Amino acid sequence: MKKYHLHNRPNRELKEETEINEILLNGKFAVISMCRNNEPYIVSLSYGYDLKNKCLYFHCATEGLKLDFIAANKKVCATVIEDKGYIQGECAHEYKTAVFWGEMFIVEDNEEKKHGMNILLEHLEKKEDIVENLMLKSEKVYAKMNILKLNIDEIHAKAGR
């Protein structure tokens, strides 16, 4: 499938990996688009970005619509937006955005679930003592939740003002 994300404004493209990673490291939620049997679905989820493995982790319940969509079609498209707002008097909007494609999986392995939850908490919560207290220590707790992993296959980013 041909992608047109930067077709009209190539001068806004962010090409440096550090700039793209910065968007994902600074973001607090990702908008995930999914499809099953020609039916679209979109959902916003808080996430944690695993810089080393170039993937995002999400927390969710053990059943629900997004899980039904993932079971039908693992391929997703998502975006993270760093919105600095509209600039009055300039007819401009300052932002950075990353659009990425990949596959979403339900993490089955408990050690990876713990890793994903740790990535998520460290991404969102900056106070280490709170992260340590919130880390789920019981295997039973992990059995009652799902951790989703989005492996990024392709990513494009741009900035505007």
Q: Read off the tokens for 110.
A: 């408990």
The whole-number pLDDT of residue 132 equals 61
The list of the chain residues with pLDDT below 50 reads none
Q: What is the topology classification, in CATH, of domain 10-160? A: Pnp Oxidase; Chain A (2.30.110)
Distance of CA 105 to the CA centre of its chain: 13
Are the CB atoms for 108 and 147 separated by under 8 Å? Answer: no
pLDDT value of residue 159: 87
pLDDT at 131: 53
| Structure confidence by residue, pLDDT tens digits, 29-75 | 999 999 999 999 999 999 999 999 999 999 999 999 999 999 999 99
Largest CA-CA distance found in the chain, in angstroms, rounded: 56
First to last CA, the chain: 29
Handedness of CA 70, 22, 44, 143 (dihedral sign): positive
- Domain extents in the chain: 10-160
Give me the half-sphere count of Cα atoms (radius 13 Å) on the Cβ side of residue 86. 3
Q: Rounded to whole angstroms, how far apart are CA atoms 26 and 108?
A: 27
